Structure 1
Amino acid sequence: MTDAFGVPTELGAVAVRVRGKGPLLVALHANPGDGRDFDAVAGPLAEAHTLAVLDWPGYGDSPATDPDAVTAPALAGVLDTVLPAILKHTGHPDAVLIGNSVGGYAALRQALEHPERVRGLVLIAPGGLSRMTALTRAACRFMAHPGVAARLAGPLASGYTWRRTPTARAALRRAYAVRNDPVRLRVYRAIWRSFADPAHNLRGRVGALRVPVLLTWGWGDPVLPRLTDGRRAARIIPGATLRTFVSGHEPHAEVPGQWLAAVQEFLRPLSPVAR
């Protein structure tokens, strides 16, 4: 049974869906996408945990009051409001955050700024750790252009999705639909534009993390490559474990069984009983 509720934020009411029973997990999706990106792993995760999945403003069931304001740093601010509401709603003191791409960036920010709320991090090719050069900043501006974003949102998602599971196929359909939805297209562009914002750079901050971290990465991720971003993340995040998979940018959707095995092993010692 799923418990659904909304959390008012400055960028719009955020839709949250909760299922299962046990220690709390909170799943944060990428751009574009919504909480359904975790469908392939949600059931198994909810067998031993309470799983909360949200839709960022402008995606899924969450409206965006100002689509152009939905930037990566703004999503970290949204999580500042939504996570305490989830904790109160479920009666848990803290949570393990599972974040993909910009969702991973928001999870990192939360763990750095409110460590009392975060029991651990499962990061799926997280944002905020790439080296920004003139070329990468230009690429972010390029993807934020209206015509480019409308034309490439779907094909780019196809390019970084190696394995076409049912969940991955559904996520690709949603990515291609961005071009026909003015609100989602503006959100997609705003997030891409913000990747070049200095506030998106967490490389100099993550050394202060004091929670267990599991990094999960696809071998074939062309957006945040394992050989550069993955290795860098494992090097600069204290005590982080890096697990890689033969997949693209979303191993939780592409190789869910393998990803789940790694995550469940990581979660086992983090349960209140184990601790």
Structure 2
Amino acid sequence: MQRSDFRFFHRLRVRWAEVDMQKIVFNAHYLMYFDTAIADYWRALALPYEEAMHALGGDLYVRKATIDFRASARMDDMLDVGMRCARIGTSSMVFEGGLFRQDQFLVGCELVYVFADPATQTSKPVPQVLREVLEGYEAGEPMRSVETGDWATLGEGAGALRRAVFIEEQNIPESLEWDAHDAVVLHAVARNRLGQVIATGRLLHAEDGMSHIGRMAVHRNLRSGGHGAAVVRVLEDAAKARGDREVALNAQRSAERFYARLGYAAHGEGFEEAGIPHIEMRRTLKP
């Protein structure tokens, strides 16, 4: 195997607890490395695994796992675990993995999964939409789309995600989450290829040439996947199209570095909103 055989990689560092008395990675941990990588592979597909499988009416069960040892990894090595969907049968999927230290191939694997009914664990045909997602990813196709619209069009999906993130995860009172702006502002949602909403945000009306982005939320299992950034950029484009010169947002302090990477700068003093530390951030829109 070569690195060029893979589109997807999961990076990890070998920990002290994973080496044996020979000071090399204990053989059983390699399977754990590949299992960790395949969980991250599903995130690369923009699929929150549990919810996606529920929507597809099945789940995946390991049928066979094969490890091919070529060379050993050692304590503190930085490793890249490549993963790809190699074949899809009627009810089975074959994933191939490769473990690399820089360009050196160390360990390979083959994982055979069967798509099955969770209640009976009897096999079922792989759903066509899942087949298309897997084949599309390996072909380099995008795994999400972003659309804008009003609350009547997008509110059901956007509202469900906001409830999960702000009310259930962050314990923000419902009375503070919903307001009159929702009915009149522009909303954006990012969807995966199953149609599930995985990120959302909204663009308030401009004041003195400044728009305000708010209610940014990303599915908790899919953060750091670029989905929030995609929503921000679409809302910025909408602001620019209507002639706004600047965009502001109230960033939670925990997300400040995320917005800084998108070109936003802190403005003024920090403050609390709904009991959570925030900072206003702004970005000038280029013509």
What band does the TM-score fall into relative to the shorter chain?
under 0.3
Give the number of the structure with larger relative contact order, counting CA–CA contacts within 8 Å between residues 6 or more apart: 1
Larger Rg: 2
Task: Give the structure-1-normalised TM-score.
Answer: 0.26
Task: Give the structure-2-normalised TM-score.
Answer: 0.26
